[in-house]
Each structure stands twice: as structure tokens, then as C-alpha cells.
């Protein structure tokens, strides 16, 4: 049984699915066990491989031999499957995230890898299993999505080397990109258009802030997940060093997401509001008047960060 | 003297600049001769290498030895520099576009290459010139921009192979991506937000249309170039097969840009309006009432293309 983290991204499902296919090719009765739905644009990656916990327990009522967790290494990342995971006679972890502890019998963890899919590629090769087109597509999807199409700083020589080798198996990955990136819901486009319409530069153009309200979601027929990517786009503005997005949750609380481009550190300001994160990406959640929270945050970004 | 096409993109300036640096390293007194300004986000690629026609004529009043045209192979692509180009004692062309004719004494044209920068890389290696970091950055910029960050169908095994070799020279190209892509003018964000706000699905959700007017440009403080990329984003919508963008020119004419995602052919419809292009990307320009043009186009897309 192969497990990956909740809210599966391209690397999570791509890595899990490629490993599952390789195991099946070696005659192993393997499945990817999930506890949440795949995003629509990623569903082709998990096709015919995924089962839920109830199905897994029914199919393997006498227990299973191996549990593998992929692209994660903590039970909190697969909470509803933790018991099932621990039932495996042998436990294996394959991950590229930095972790404090290793929870498994065998651990293949490499934080230098741009994507877990790179580790899966090397593992399948080491297994001596011939990588076929279905596996290549899933490995590619994992690498491309987790490196921001080779733009993020986690992209290395090995990333491109592996992808160049994948082209020996599959002529073109253009169709994979179309499937993943050219499936945007209309409601998402409308929501983002409204978010950017309300975007406001401040601190001499070095910072930008925007908001998403429950009303906006209703008007656009969108969900909060549709605001994904907007804070990165705001940070990408010319001369902008700090970008902030304020999301109004259903309970009325405001979730602030802050991003820095090059030199600024947004983590301290977020920590002072009871939040956390890294220098370049941090956030906090608080209750209060949305306008007031926005004005206070603008003032603090201008005075404490931009200076 | 190195020439490239007007409205320089990343591959044009990246290729020209990398070749210029390599020639200089070999002791050749080389320059990139331009007739228009580089886009702000690409200006770092041409730094200290570009001169305009007047400067070139002054510096080389006794004539010059070699003219190289890069990423283009027709004089119409460098109209104000055609005479100067033809003054070169020897003419060389390096390009990855399909061309009918070869206009130069020496032609290195390979339509299979994802970017002209790939040809420049192979050429510099063949010259025996050691590629340094400044050249690597420019070759990378050319490849990354012309392949849509490795997503377009022109991306090949060789594309990734070359980039993996560039990592031997430069540890990370993340900063290059930030420089190129994280420099969006605020006016562009506002304009695109307004364009998408007016986007309209039709033909049962299989087609989408949007407009840009001169009034919108004024309101946003934007220029027409700021609408670049919007028609691709519209085509990327879920279930959409055909996307159309109508741009109102300064003279009141309407320029229509049509894009197809997978199976449709938009070239015939555009040809019937006196325009042209390919199956997946075509356009036309006509005069008339903007509303009427929009309604007629919608009807034609629905009836003649989506069917």
C-alpha cells in the first residue's frame, strides 16, 4: 500500500502512481490508498490506481506486507490512514522534504532532490524495472509541478538530466502540461480577476495587498482554493518586495499570507500575530474587522519590513 | 555585427548576446545592433552589448567583416537594419524558424531546435570557446522563454540535455526566472484583470471571448502589449476549445486573435475575414462596430468551428 499526503499535489500523486505502476510490473499487488479527492486536473495521474481506506481494509482483510509513504514522512500528513499505514509488516519512506525524524524501517529521504518523483525515478531504475510511458508521464508530472516548471531554486542539473532520459521513453510531455495547466475553471479566472481588481500598491510601490471575501466567492461561484497562486502573482509585480493576501474564512476569521521576493523577511511580523512560516513565505490568522486588519497590516509592512 | 528580429523576445536577445560574448572572448570586436528597445524584464540580457544603427555606422565607418542574423532569416524582421546587414562582407544566419529561402552565405537553420539558443550553444561549443556564466545565463534565458519553460511541444530531449550541461557552468537559473517573470507592471495586472472581468463563455462553454479597448488601456495606464498572454490564458480554461481576443487599435480597427486547444482549426475562419495563421493560432483585422464584430465572431465560432 502506497500512501501520500492529503491535498495531493502533482509530485504526491505522480510519485505514488509511478511507484505503484512499477511495483505492479514486478508482480506486486500494489495500490495507492487515499483519503481525499484528487484535484480534477491531476485525476488522470491516479486513474485505476487509487483506493480509499474502506476498500483497502476490505481487500486486505488479512493485512498487507508493505506500507510506503511517498512525498511525506509524518502521520499527520495522512491522518485518517495512519492506523492502516502502521499495519504494514514493513514500512518504507521516500521523500524530499527535510524531516526531523524517520518513522520507517527503510528511509530514502533526500532534501536536495527537486521532487520526490526524482527519487522514484532513481529507485525504479535501481529496481531494474523498465520504465514505461505511463510511469514516465507520472514522474514528469511530479518533477514539473514541484519545480514550478523548472523555475524554482530546487531545480538542479539532475532534474534536467532525469527529464532528458524520460524523453527516451515518451516523445513529448506537452500533453501532460496541457492536462495539468490548461484546465482552469472559469470561476477561478473570474475570482482572480476580482482579487487583482482590488489589489493596492503601497509603501512606495514596494508592497502590494489584496483581499478575498466570502461574498467574492459567492459572486464568482468559486471556492477559496481558486485563490491559489494569486499571492505569488502579486509578488511577481515589478518593484514589489512584499505581497500580502487576506482571505476571509467561513467563520469570519482572516487568514493573511505574506510573501517576500528577495531581501525581506516576513516571518517575524507573522510570528508577532501568532502565526509562522519562513522568511519568504509566512502567515497568520486572526479575528477582527477586515478593513482594520488590512490597514494595520499595511502599516506594519511599511514600517517594520520595507522601512 | 549581430542582428536579431524587432520586438525582441528572450530567445532573440539571449541568442544574440551569448554569441556576441563568445565572439568577444575569441578577440572579435562584436556588437548586437538593434533598432528597438528591449522589454524592461529582458534588458539585463543585452547589457553592454547593444548599439543602435547610428552608433554602428559611426564605429564601423570603414565597413564590417561579418553580419550574423540570429533567430530570424528575413530582412523584414530587421527593416531599419537591412542595409547595414547587407554591408557585411560575409553573411551568416542562425535560426530555428522554418524558412523558404536562405539569404546568407552560411546558414545554420534547424527547425527541430526548441530555441535558437540551443543552436548557439552547440555553435559556441564547436568553436571551442569555453562557455562562461554570462553566456550560460543568456542561453538559458533563450531556451526557457522560447519553450514556455519546457512546456511547449518544441521541447525535446536535447533541450533538457543542454540545460543540464549549463548547470555545470551556473549553479542555479532561478534568479534568471525571477528577473524575467517577476517584473510584471502593475498596470498590466490591472488591465488583464479588466479583460478577464469581461470574458464570456459561449458555445456551451467550449469557446470564450474577451475584448481590450483603448478606454481600458487609458483607465489602467497600460499599453496594448500588456494584453500579451491573455488569449493563451483564456484558451487554458477548462472545457474551452477556442479562445478569441478582440483588440481595439488606435485607428479604431479591431484585431482578432483566435486560439484552438486541441482539435479545432481557427485558420479558415480567419482567412475568410482576410486574415491568416495556423490551425491553432490565427487572426484578422477589420473595421466596424466593435459590438457587431464580437457578436458576428461568436456566431461564426459557434456555427463553423464548434459545430
Query: Are B118 and B60 contained in the same domain?
Result: yes
pLDDT at B211: 98
Q: CATH number, domain at A52?
A: 3.90.1640.10
Q: What is the pLDDT of residues B45-77, one digit of tens each?
A: 999 999 999 999 999 999 999 999 999 999 999
Taking only residues 144 to 163 of chain B, the set having a beta carbon closer than 8 angstroms to any beta carbon of chain A reads: 144, 149-153, 155-161, 163
Is the same domain home to A152 and A190? no
Q: How close, in Å, is residue B177 to chain A by CA atoms?
A: 6
* Whether B114 and B220 share a structural domain: no
Q: Tell me: do A171 and A237 sit in the same domain.
A: no
Q: How many Cβ atoms from other residues are within 10 Å of residue B76's Cβ? A: 9
Residues 67-96 of A with CB under 8 A from B: none
Q: Among the three residues B181, B208, B234, which one is the final residue of a domain in this structure?
A: B181
User: Which among B164, B199, B237 has CB closest to A164?
Assistant: B164
> Is the separation of the CB atoms in A276 and A267 below 8 Å?
yes
**A148 plus A228 within the same structural domain:** no
Q: Write the CATH number for A251.
A: 3.10.310.30
- Whether A36 and A49 map to the same domain: the answer is yes
Domain-ending residue, one of A181, A215, A248: A181
pLDDT in tens, B85-124: 999 999 999 999 887 677 899 999 999 999 999 999 999 9
- pLDDT of the residue at A100: 64
Q: Cβ A196–B185 below 8 Å, yes or no? A: no
Cβ contact A236–B183 (<8 Å): yes
- What's the CA gap between B240 and A212, in Å, rounded? 26
- Count the neighbouring beta carbons within 10 Å of the beta carbon of residue A104: 20
- Report, as an integer, the average pLDDT of A158-174: 97
Rounded to two decimals, the ipTM of the complex is 0.89
Mapping DSSP onto H, E and C, the string for B194-241 reads HHHHCCEEECCCCEEEEEECHHHHHHHCCCHHHHCCHHHHHHCECCCC
User: Of B303, B244, B230, B234, nearest to B277 (Cα)?
Assistant: B244
Interface contact B161-A157, CB threshold 8 A: no
Q: Is A121 on the interface with B (CB under 8 A)?
A: no
Based on the domain organization, do A70 and A210 belong to the same domain?
no
Looking at B161, B181, B201, which one is the last position of a domain?
Answer: B181
Q: Which residues pair with B109 in a beta bridge?
A: B95
- Measure the CA–CA gap between B92 and B297, rounded to whole angstroms: 44
Domain match, B6 and B112 both: yes
Domain hosting residue B246, numbered range: 186-306
Query: What are the pLDDT digits (tens) for B130-188?
Result: 999 999 999 999 999 999 999 999 999 999 999 999 999 999 999 999 999 998 999 99
Tell whether A190 and A171 lie within a shared domain: no
Average pLDDT, chain A: 96
Looking at the fold, whether A141 and A57 belong to one and the same domain comes out as yes
Are A26 and A147 in a shared domain?
Answer: yes
Please name the helix (run of DSSP H) or strand (run of DSSP E) that holds residue A277, with its range, or none.
Answer: strand A276-277
- Predicted confidence (pLDDT) per residue in A18-67, tens digit: 999 999 999 999 999 999 999 989 999 999 999 999 999 999 999 999 99
Contact B4, B68 (CB under 8 A): no
Burial class (CB in 10 A: 0-12, 13-18, 19+), B306: middle
In chain A, % of residues over pLDDT 70: 100
- On the question of pLDDT at B19 being above 90, the answer is yes
The strand pair at B90-95 and B106-109 is best described as parallel
Q: Which residues of B touch A186 (CB under 8 A)?
A: 199, 201, 205, 208, 237-238
What value does the mean pLDDT take over residues A276-289?
92
For residue A262, name the pLDDT band (cuts at 50, 70, 90).
confident
Which residue is it, cell 545592433? Answer: B33
% of chain B exceeding 70 in pLDDT: 100
How many structural domains comprise chain B?
A: 2
- What residues have CB less than 8 Å from B225, skipping those under 6 apart? none
Contact list in A for residue B193 (CB cut-off 8 A) is: 192-194, 196-197, 199
How confident is the prediction for chain B on average, in pLDDT? 96
Cβ proximity of A127 and A18 under 8 Å? no
**B224 and B82 fall within a common domain:** no
Amino acid at each position: 500500500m502506497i500512501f501520500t499526503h492529503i491535498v495531493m499535489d502533482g509530485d504526491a500523486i505522480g510519485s505514488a502512481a509511478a511507484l505503484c505502476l512499477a511495483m505492479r510490473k514486478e508482480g506486486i499487488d500494489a495500490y495507492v490508498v487515499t483519503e481525499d479527492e484528487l484535484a480534477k486536473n491531476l485525476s488522470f495521474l491516479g486513474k485505476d490506481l487509487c483506493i480509499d481506506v474502506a476498500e483497502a481494509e476490505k481487500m486486505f482483510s488479512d493485512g498487507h506486507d508493505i506500507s510506503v509513504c511517498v512525498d511525506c514522512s509524518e502521520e499527520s500528513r495522512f491522518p485518517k490512514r495512519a492506523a492502516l499505514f502502521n499495519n504494514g509488516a514493513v514500512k518504507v519512506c521516500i521523500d524530499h522534504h527535510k524531516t526531523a525524524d524517520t518513522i520507517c524501517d527503510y528511509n530514502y529521504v533526500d532534501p536536495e532532490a527537486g521532487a520526490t518523483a526524482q527519487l522514484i525515478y532513481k529507485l525504479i531504475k535501481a529496481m531494474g524495472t523498465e520504465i514505461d510511458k505511463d510511469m514516465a508521464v507520472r514522474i514528469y508530472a511530479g518533477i514539473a509541478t514541484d519545480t514550478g516548471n523548472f523555475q524554482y531554486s530546487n531545480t538542479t542539473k539532475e532534474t534536467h538530466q532525469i527529464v532528458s532520459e524520460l524523453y527516451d521513453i515518451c516523445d513529448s510531455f506537452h500533453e501532460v502540461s496541457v492536462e495539468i495547466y490548461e484546465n482552469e475553471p472559469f470561476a477561478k479566472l473570474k475570482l482572480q480577476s476580482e482579487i487583482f481588481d482590488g489589489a493596492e500598491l503601497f509603501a512606495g510601490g514596494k508592497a502590494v495587498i489584496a483581499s478575498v471575501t466570502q461574498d467574492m466567492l459567492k459572486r464568482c461561484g468559486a471556492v477559496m482554493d481558486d485563490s491559489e497562486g494569486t499571492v505569488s502573482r502579486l509578488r511577481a509585480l515589478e518593484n514589489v518586495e512584499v505581497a500580502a493576501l487576506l482571505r476571509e474564512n467561513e467563520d469570519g476569521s482572516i487568514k493573511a499570507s505574506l510573501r517576500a521576493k528577495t531581501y525581506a523577511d516576513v516571518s517575524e511580523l507573522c510570528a508577532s500575530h501568532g502565526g509562522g512560516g519562513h522568511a519568504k513565505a509566512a502567515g497568520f490568522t486572526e479575528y477582527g474587522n477586515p478593513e482594520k486588519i488590512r490597514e494595520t497590516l499595511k502599516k506594519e509592512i511599511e514600517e517594520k519590513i520595507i522601512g
